[in-house]
Structure 1
Amino acid sequence: MKKEKIWLSPPHMGGNELKYIQNAFDTNWISQYGSNIDEFEKSLENYLGNSSYVTALSSGTAAIHLALRLLNVEEGDFVICQSFTFVATANPILYLKAIPVFVDSESLTWNMCPDMLEEAIKYVIQQGKKPKAIITVSLYGMPFKVEEILNISRKYEIPIIEDSAEALGSKYKGQLCGTFGDLSIISFNGNKIITTAGGGILISRNAAAKKRTLFLATQAKDDAEFYSHSEIGYNYRMDNIAAGIGRGQLETLEKKIEQRRKNHDFYQQAVKNNNDIELFSAPNSDFYSNYWLNTVILKNDFLKENLKEKFSQNNIETRFLWKPMHLQPLYKGYKFFGDNLSGTLFDTGLCLPSGTNLTDDYRARISNVLQNEIY
């Protein structure tokens, strides 16, 4: 009999989601208006602190798109973007017919390399323009090198869009990810640490930016009694049912972070005696990761060729690391700054099951593959 599937990062309901969904039905707010949206935004603003103004949207991708719009990115503008990320980080640049410039990772956090970032900025300035924005990512829940990147941002007066899609609850020196950028985003896709069955948020630093975000996210309707539109807008608002799921999920966030971090402790023990497997971990105490996904680097060719298949034979889902943007066919020909560290990580890395509902039985099956079946 085939064993039950162990998924990489499945949704995990917290208990009160149905209560808030039922409230949407009871009040007949089955739309992009309603108390669930208002309360979800308020709860996130309280959680994040640091002058965070939250707008609930249909996806994290929509949030990045609107962040670029808020920064007046237009056709022909340059936007510097971390290469090692999911494609949704970069695609909104092309939505606006702007020009992405990709920056490689550094080895400690796997996120944007400050040295390569500065080289990229200097290159763009030599083209006669200053970059309109820098998009940096906290990959797999690991905060980027916040101080170095922010110092460069301030030096050249280029705003930061902080892609914390995977990093809700992660911290740098005690401050939550999602609060460092001029604009920040978080995703609530089905595989994230909490979900709204899709969805995301744009986090701005003042009420005016939040008002502008909401305007663009609801078709940019002018202040008139009839439907009048002076600029292009989008249907990007989160709906009241999705926000109800989010309210229930948010109530269990701290427990989910604790569970993800316990998964990391489990993997540390599972691979501690194997010199051919290196678990990606926080470089020091300044970095507090939610360990949304636990990832490993495989140090010999046999493991690279066989470990994923061994997991698959045991009905355990794994996934390769993100293929960097500068290696994607879609982005062939765009400028890239770095030594292809991200490409090496892609070639040698693997994501392991990291869900908050990982049971002791599941851990035993995973551990058996890692310790007994890989050679």
Structure 2
Amino acid sequence: MSGRIFLSSPDVGEREEEYLLAAVRSGWIAPLGPDVDAFEAELAARVGVEHAVAVSSGTAGLHLGLLGLGIGPGDVVLTSTMTFAATANAITYTGAKPYFIDSEPDTGNIDPALVRQALEQLADDGESAAAIVPVDLLGKAANYSEICAIAAEYGLPVLADAAESLGASHAERPAGSHGHAAVVSFNGNKIMTTSGGGMLLTDDAELAAQTRYLATQARLPLAHYEHVDIGYNYRLSNLLAALGRAQLSRLDAMIGRRREMRERYRDLFTEADGVEIFGGDDDENDNFWLTAIVVDSERAGWEPAELSLALAAENIESRPMWKPMHLQPVFSDARRVVNGTSEALFGRGLTLPSGSALRESEIERVHGCIRAFLEGRR
């Protein structure tokens, strides 16, 4: 069988090798170093914020961002139900409780109207939320114009989970620049990678300083080791930051490649009745991290799982869209405001190989398998 084709494998080459080798030869092998400082400055400039703190993962960034905003035990944090578990896990790490909000049908992102409904319900119950954590789904930024306006009415900070949206934008502002702070991810499958890693982005100097402090084991600046707070080993290493700098220099080209694949999928499914490119009517400002289809099985005559099985038979990865957090057993008792949208997207959606590292022969293999499947269902 041919080699496996993944949804989004790392796109690395000679430039990454050059940057990484230079970092090794510099002697800065231990955590932190000049590449970390440069990576933070370069990404902050790219996104348009004053401060950036490189950390070991996007999850670590969310955890520290929440702590820096004062989130703790007993607090209620509104967040998207259509997300990966890391978002909800980070909230739980602080002792707070996630309150899940359902999605807009066209984008899968958190529905501002339901955010307001949840806040009103909390107020009616004599309660309040402590923060809002929207999630940018599959490379499309959430509607921060409305979300931040609602948050301002209630005096709430917004911590944007932009793990999937680096390079996208909303209202002519880059993803990662919205809210009180934002967190991006450099996991191996993201739009750009440092193998593992993430970064907190903010204009708040105090929040950035607190994040940096907690991420380095809350060590005080003394000759000996002195600690008055519980800290975390959450900083990014200099070697991985060097890899990230190389990736950042290629980000626009990688987004362009994924945009091209989105268009090719759009052409491929044009004649397929009951199949739509997810979020495709308004994707000009996306980063095209993953392309997904949404299938109306009654019209199409087939289920997404059937196509997934056909792809798997050819050693090609595909995956349903995120299973909503309110359906996850670990969060079965969490409060939620749901309208059925995220559950429908989970049942009807399928993500397809979208990585910028895909070779033309691999793209043709994926498309050939899909064409054969569609022809067999006509």
| Alignment TM-score > 0.5, same fold | yes
State the match for 1:356 in structure 2: 356
- Per mean C-alpha deviation after superposition, the further-off stretch among 109-118 and 355-364 is 355-364
**Distance in 2 separating the partners of 1:283 and 1:268:** 11
Offset at 1:151?
1.2
State the match for 1:84 in structure 2: 82
Offset at 1:349?
0.8
Q: Which amino acid aligns with 2:334?
A: Y
In structure 2, relative to structure 1, the CA distance for the partners of 1:24 and 1:363 (3 Å cut) is closer
Equivalent runs, 1:313-328 vs 2, <5 Å: 313-328=313-328
Equivalent runs, 1:163-202 vs 2, <5 Å: 163-202=161-200
**Distance in 2 separating the partners of 1:165 and 1:209:** 19
Equivalent runs, 1:65-214 vs 2, <5 Å: 65-214=63-212
Are the equivalent residues in 2 in contact too, given 1:321–1:349 (CA < 8 A)? Answer: yes
Are the equivalent residues in 2 in contact too, given 1:294–1:353 (CA < 8 A)? Answer: yes
TM-score under structure 2 length normalisation: 0.95
Are the equivalent residues in 1 in contact too, given 2:167–2:175 (CA < 8 A)? Answer: yes
Offset at 1:23?
2.7
State the match for 1:274 in structure 2: 272
Are the equivalent residues in 2 in contact too, given 1:82–1:103 (CA < 8 A)? Answer: yes
CA RMSD, 1 decimal? 1.5
The match for 1:289 among 286, 290, 297 is 286
Q: How big is each residue's C-alpha offset from its partner over 1:280-320, in whole Å with a ceiling of 9 and x where there is no partner?
A: 134437x5101100001121163334110000111211111
Offset at 1:53?
0.9
State the match for 1:257 in structure 2: 255
State the match for 2:295 in structure 1: 298
Q: Which amino acid aligns with 2:188?
A: G
In structure 2, relative to structure 1, the CA distance for the partners of 1:17 and 1:359 (3 Å cut) is closer
Structure 2 unaligned blocks of 5 or more: none
Offset at 1:236?
0.3
Q: Which amino acid aligns with 1:31?
A: A
Are the equivalent residues in 2 in contact too, given 1:14–1:249 (CA < 8 A)? Answer: no
Structure 1 unaligned blocks of 5 or more: none
Give the secondary structure class of the aligned counterpart of 1:63.
helix
**Distance in 1 separating the partners of 2:5 and 2:282:** 31
Are the equivalent residues in 2 in contact too, given 1:14–1:248 (CA < 8 A)? Answer: no
Give the secondary structure class of the aligned counterpart of 1:202.
strand
Offset at 1:147?
1.3
State the match for 1:346 in structure 2: 346
Q: Which amino acid aligns with 2:254?
A: K
Offset at 1:119?
1.2
Q: State the 4+ residue runs in structure 1 displaced beyond 6 angstroms.
A: none
Offset at 1:127?
4.1
Aligned length: 372
**Distance in 2 separating the partners of 1:125 and 1:283:** 36
Offset at 1:14?
4.1
